[in-house]
Amino acid sequence: MPDLHGDHVHWCDDGRGMREVMVDGVLRRSVIYADVKAGVVVAHDLPLKTSDGETVDIHPEWGEVRVIYCGGYVRSNQTFRMGEGPIQ
């Protein structure tokens, strides 16, 4: 069972806002859960896939995990993100 406590754990509904997750330096989309200390993320594929017709297939990935806060864009200039910087 994953440890859902601490600043090193991030999941899609933890109330800390939008973040980008990188695994081994590659941006990973559709992440449901990320643990920076353990180096694991749980994600689903896009488009969504299902093997049994009822639940979405999810899979873990291991590597160097980095989580970056994305606070939104400043005015209409979408090259600079306000609050950009690593959380962990």
pLDDT at 80: 47
pTM of the model: 0.70
Question: What's the mean pLDDT in 60-74?
Answer: 81
With CA atoms as reference, report the closest residue to 64 among 80, 44, 88: 88
Which contacts qualify for 70-79: CB closer than 8 Å, 24 or more apart?
70/17, 70/18, 70/19, 70/20, 71/17, 71/18, 72/18
Per-chain mean pLDDT for the chain: 79
Q: What is the pLDDT of residue 72?
A: 53
pLDDT of 83 strictly over 70: no
